[in-house]
Structure 1
């Protein structure tokens, strides 16, 4: 007799297209609209970015990407307010991420 292995735990996974479609529906329902920031909030974010850049302090960065608000921890390396770009080095993988300033939702110094 042969053991069933993982077949035992996935008895209805005979149609992978169904699960792909269901996952897309679940992801679509979990999406949120991009928050609209007030002038005061944008000024506060700008001030915090500049302070973190000059003092090389670690920040909590919350940004909007593909229907989700994502929070990461790391350091600000470069800010270009005219070009609407900044470079963020994340703490986990130490990778440089180029992002748009308009995608930012919140910035807090750790």
Structure 2
């Protein structure tokens, strides 16, 4: 005779479809609206990006994506204020990421 061991119990998630539906509902409840930045905040973000580009300093980027505010660490490689884009290299995987300036919420020097 064998013991069943410890089993995790997930109430209301007995069927995989239920579990997927519950996860989607919880994600929707955790969503936040995109913060609206003032003109002064946008100028400060732009100034910090340009400074980080010229000094090659590491920055903490907080951006809005799919209902969440995410933070990443990396180095700025290119900034185009008129085209509303910038490119940064993340610290973890050293990959180039192209992002819109309008998605940025906050930029801080590390």
Same fold (TM over 0.5): yes
* Whole-angstrom CA distance in 2 between matches of 1:70 and 1:14: 32
TM-score, scaled relative to structure 1: 0.92
Deviations 1:14-72 (A, max 9, x none): 30110100000000000000000000000000000000000000001000000000011
2:8 aligned residue = 9
What root-mean-square deviation, in Å, do the aligned CA atoms of Structure 1 and Structure 2 show? 1.4
Which structure 2 residue ranges, 5 or more long, are not aligned?
none
* Whole-angstrom CA distance in 2 between matches of 1:5 and 1:83: 58
Which structure 1 residue ranges, 5 or more long, are not aligned?
none
TM-score, scaled relative to structure 2: 0.92
* Whole-angstrom CA distance in 2 between matches of 1:2 and 1:16: 27
1:50 aligned residue = 50
* Whole-angstrom CA distance in 2 between matches of 1:79 and 1:39: 18
In the TM superposition, structure 1's runs of 4+ consecutive aligned residues that sit over 3 Å from their partners are 10-14
